[in-house]
Structure 1
């Protein structure tokens, strides 16, 4: 039985997207039981790969400690996507349990309609003032190894976007040089209220795979990645009505998925029975 649990952990750690597809077919109680018995670092990528409504139902079925552990292990964008489908007052309870930075970013992004650019902007970008020296900016980049930092964003004292500086330019410049002398205009800028369909048609995507997102007055709030935009539009337009055979065709043989599903169910079989979630427990 312990071997089944080890195999389940190994599978979800190595194939989070595949595991997510299988778990979406299980009952909420069974899926929640599995998440409860997995380390957050291994379970979070699986939760992120699930459809947001399905992931939210699992969060609701978990206690606050387990749900917060998973949310904290995901990125802000993924956390917000799930929290959009959690009803109040549980949503507020979960947000209040997050780190101050993540909670503030979540509240901001949740304030935008989910079909607009602002809802899917990634606030985790490296932002510096225009009077920052190159050496200091590089230190910021090295101090945030988890962030994609091909470009850094230069703002003024009011957080208005002034320009961007590519990492390669930064590396070649003298460490005392001001970023104001190195920055250039971005290929394009996306307003927070722009519909996602409009953002997809922006001509700047031919030149870049990431664009800054600004509020009124050019106040920088984050960036939008081309991959995230494509994923969001795909999910919204597809409706996720594809059958398993259609969705998995060309990826893996049906027999593999039967094996995967069986493995996860074996893992569930060794877990203690899931207790129903009562209204008073939420």
Structure 2
């Protein structure tokens, strides 16, 4: 009988996307224990296909050395997408262990000025893969710690936002139906590097409390809540105390593989689709 480890390596190398979808549904500590038994470079494609929030939860349960080794095998955009979900102390610890070039690239990807949308956005939002069924989406959402009224954002394997599903839609839909069949088409989005002032009168605020935020490659990286927008504008004008400004980590956001390639004179492949926000009826 073939060695189980060999079979696992075959599965990870030949079907990384399917492996990622499977591992996202298992307990984080079990996934961490399993992946630590396999060379980091053999798992890089799997980490790439995992949703950044899930990948971060898994790596939070292991030593920083392993996290750094894992992130070192990923392209900068994917590494940054995972880093933005860690606490500031953990980011600092891991960054000290990363290759200098990767640190530079991740810093460029993650850092936003306080006047920009990216510094005030909420990166931790509920998202599920475009390929999953309603039943799988329900299972993922049930295991999350987000408020029940929050929307569910549907993303493809490249983290482009494809649709939005309300909790009510998810409950009412047939379990075997593809989640793509019940999602609403995205409509509005905000560039992460736009200034708060420039988006203050965005037409999307008339209908939505949250608007999706996209990086330079137009990949989905979080949402800007209207309440946070107002606080950010007031803070920038000096009307709030400085300690109410967002933590630096709230600006550690832009998880796009293409986010700084223009800076580094590499090829740029922009996404084409626009994105949408959350209807006010669903809450903040």
TM range (shorter): 0.3 to 0.5
Structure showing greater radius of gyration is 1
TM-score (norm 2): 0.46
Greater relative CO (CA pairs within 8 A, separation 6+): 2
Higher helix share: 1
Give the TM-score normalised by structure 1. Answer: 0.46
